[in-house]
């Protein structure tokens, strides 16, 4: 299959695109998670959304990663991602969700993977989490293979370009800058933002900062309790919060307005004024000695 991973897009002039963010609490039952997600996607589609974003680990969620995650992993053409494609096709939307992928070259760890399906049910883009959650007492790298440093994973909807990152990636501004420099108008960020002291404040601050400094819309889908902090939101390119949720499951809908984006970027041309490029840092794999 051919994926739109990169910045070479020949798209029409962008038009307004309604987008939705799903906040729910995935369990350790992938089939039940698909069933729950289906109702949220239905709600989003009925509200007019063209793009629907679900959380990180929508397929299978635990508080701490262990051998259960490795055992449940599946390939990109496995039943969970096939089910996501069927949902996208059923409701005629672009659907992005996090799954537990079995890497082709390793059996002891997984890939933390985002898959974007189009309204025809086909895969449009894939992103594997680059920055692993080796922080706040967690060691994601013990169970997860870091994603390869490829060109940003993007896909286009009515001329609007969407890029993807995952959860802990939010703390690394270089990654979001690469996505914006690749032409993205919107950064999609699924997460399982682990609750803790000041974590929600950090989450909301970082989401708004990524939007402001890159003049992009940011749509963030977090898991809700008990394994996520909630506070999913959609932020405009000037940092204004267009829609947000608290702790409970729900669906947010807002519109990506290319005309508004153009006005923000005219007033604040920070992307064109930047004088530094982002380059790969040569370092050991996370968790390596």
Catalytic residue ranges: 56, 129, 167
Structure tokens at 243: 């829609």
Residue 107 tokens, joined: 């059996």
Residue 76: its H or E element: none
Contact 177, 209 (CB under 8 A): no
Orientation angle between helical segments 199-214 and 173-181, nearest 10 degrees: 30
Phi, psi of 92 (to 5 degrees): 65, 40
Q: Is the distance from CB of 18 to CB of 217 less than 8 angstroms?
A: no
Cβ neighbours for 222, distance < 8 A, ≥ 6 positions apart: 23, 55, 190, 191, 192, 193, 203, 228, 229, 230, 231, 232
How do 241-244 and 233-235 pair as beta strands? antiparallel
- In order of 132, 157, 159, 270, the CA distances from 17 in angstroms are 31, 8, 9, 24
Give the DSSP letter string of 132-187.
----TT--GGGTBPPPP--SPBEEEETTEEEEE--GGGGG-HHHHHHHHHTT-SEE
Residues in the chain: 289
Asked if 216 and 184 touch (Cβ cutoff 8 Å), the reply is yes
- Determine how β-strand 17-23 pairs with β-strand 250-256: antiparallel
- In sequence order, which residues have a C-beta less than 8 Å from that of residue 143 and are 6 or more positions away? 65, 66, 69, 70, 109, 110
């Amino acid at each position: 299959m051919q994926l739109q991973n990169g910045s070479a897009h020949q798209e029409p002039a962008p038009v307004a695109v309604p987008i939705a963010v799903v906040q729910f609490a995935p369990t350790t039952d992938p089939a039940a998670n698909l069933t729950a997600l289906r109702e949220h996607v239905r709600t989003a589609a009925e509200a007019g959304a063209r793009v629907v974003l679900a959380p990180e680990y929508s397929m299978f969620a635990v508080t701490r990663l262990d051998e259960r995650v490795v055992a449940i992993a599946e390939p990109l053409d496995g039943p969970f991602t096939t089910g996501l494609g069927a949902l996208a096709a059923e409701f005629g939307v672009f659907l992005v969700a996090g799954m537990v992928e079995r890497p082709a070259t390793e059996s002891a760890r997984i890939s933390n993977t985002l898959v974007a399906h189009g309204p025809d049910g086909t895969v449009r883009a894939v992103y594997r989490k680059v920055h692993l959650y080796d922080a706040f007492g967690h060691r994601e790298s013990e169970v997860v293979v870091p994603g390869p440093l490829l060109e940003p994973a993007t896909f286009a909807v009515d001329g609007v370009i969407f890029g993807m990152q995952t959860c802990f990636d939010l703390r690394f501004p270089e990654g979001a800058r690469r996505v914006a420099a690749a032409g993205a108008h919107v950064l999609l960020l699924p997460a399982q933002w682990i609750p803790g002291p000041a974590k929600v404040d950090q989450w909301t601050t970082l989401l708004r900062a990524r939007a402001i400094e890159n003049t992009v819309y940011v749509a963030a889908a977090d898991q809700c309790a008990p394994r996520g902090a909630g506070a999913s939101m959609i932020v405009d390119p000037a940092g204004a919060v267009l829609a947000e949720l608290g702790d409970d499951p729900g669906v947010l809908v807002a519109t990506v307005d290319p005309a508004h984006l153009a006005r923000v970027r005219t007033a604040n041309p920070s992307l064109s004024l930047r004088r530094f490029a982002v380059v790969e840092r040569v370092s050991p794999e996370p968790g390596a000695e």
